[in-house]
Amino acid sequence: MVKLLPAIIRDALKTLVRALVGRPATIRYPEVEVKVPEGFRGRHWLDINKCVGCGLCARDCPTGAITMMTLTLASPDKGKKPRKVPVFDLSRCIFCYQCAESCPRGAIKPTKVFSMAAYDPHDLVLDFRPLLLSKREEREGQLSGQQDPHG
């Protein structure tokens, strides 16, 4: 132990000097904005217009974090199968992005959003269906708006 003492003191001094003159490895988050590097795999983004509901993302997800859910429309398209969309459970996700690799339409993309802490696991369910519904409502609203002048 006595033999080791000079080495320990030398190490401690080195650490002290590094801490005094070097830049800190941490930042004052959340006061200071974090610069997220390119290619960071944060929360998912689903381009609902590109998704065809094939379910390959759910099939290949290694943790079973994706469930294909049916989109229930108030006025379903006649003769068409009900549309399915992936819903992500981020509490099960390991952010491997196999889902994006498997998607033939490039509909899944990572965002730079990293702050996903939640008290309630339900808050970690990423469901884009309301987005599709609101788009449809908007479209139908526009269509009925176009028809109105002739009505």
Closest to ligand SF4 by CB, 15 or 113: 113
**106 and 87 in contact (C-beta within 8 Å)?**
no
**Cα distance between residue 4 and residue 11, in whole Å:** 11
* Bridge partners (DSSP) listed for residue 88: 66, 126
* Interacting residues with ligand SF4 (CB under 6 A): 51-57, 61-63, 65-66, 86, 88, 93-99, 102-103, 105, 107-108
Taking the complex as a whole, the smallest distance from the CB of residue 43 to ligand SF4 amounts, in Å, to 10
Closest to ligand SF4 by CB, 55 or 73: 55
Taking the complex as a whole, the smallest distance from the CB of residue 30 to ligand SF4 amounts, in Å, to 25
Closest to ligand SF4 by CB, 73 or 110: 110
Q: Which tokens go with 17?
A: 């000097």
Closest to ligand SF4 by CB, 73 or 97: 97
**107 and 50 in contact (C-beta within 8 Å)?**
yes
Taking the complex as a whole, the smallest distance from the CB of residue 75 to ligand SF4 amounts, in Å, to 23
Cα–Cα distance list, 54 to 16, 45, 69, 103, 150 (Å):
57, 17, 11, 9, 39
